[in-house]
Amino acid sequence: MLKKHIREEACRQIVRFFYTSAIPFNCVKNPEFLKALELVAKHGLGFKPLSYHDIIEKYLKQEVDQTMKLLKEYKLEWKKTGCSIMFNGWTDKKKGIVFVTF
């Protein structure tokens, strides 16, 4: 009974986060959302949320580096196959690529 109450409270807080942040509802279909929730649950009590700085500096840089690594691998394939991929990205104030999606 207590676990059901905690789940209900957690769900209400998650949807409140979606509503107050204007996050599109279809984001719940993103497998990365499910994976994030599972990892937080696996961590258990005491999980410390990310800071603003973590999101815009540390983890963004890691994601950009990972994306560039993947892009490098794709570019090697392009030479073999003659194909390319389309991607969407945006730049920071210094006109450097900040994030790329495929």
Placement of tokens 């194909």 in the chain:
83
Alpha helices (H) in the chain, listed in sequence order: 2-21, 31-43, 52-53, 60-81
Per-residue pLDDT of the chain (102 residues; tens, 9 = 90+): 778 999 999 999 999 999 999 999 999 999 999 999 999 999 999 999 999 999 999 999 999 999 999 888 888 887 788 776 666 666 666 665 555 555
Q: In the structure encoding, which two tokens stand for residue 49, read together?
A: 């949320």
Question: Which among 42, 51, 40 has a CA at the least distance from the CA of 13?
Answer: 40
Could you tell me the residue ranges of all domains in the chain? 2-43, 52-101
Q: Give the per-residue pLDDT at 75.
A: 84
Q: Give the per-residue pLDDT at 74.
A: 82
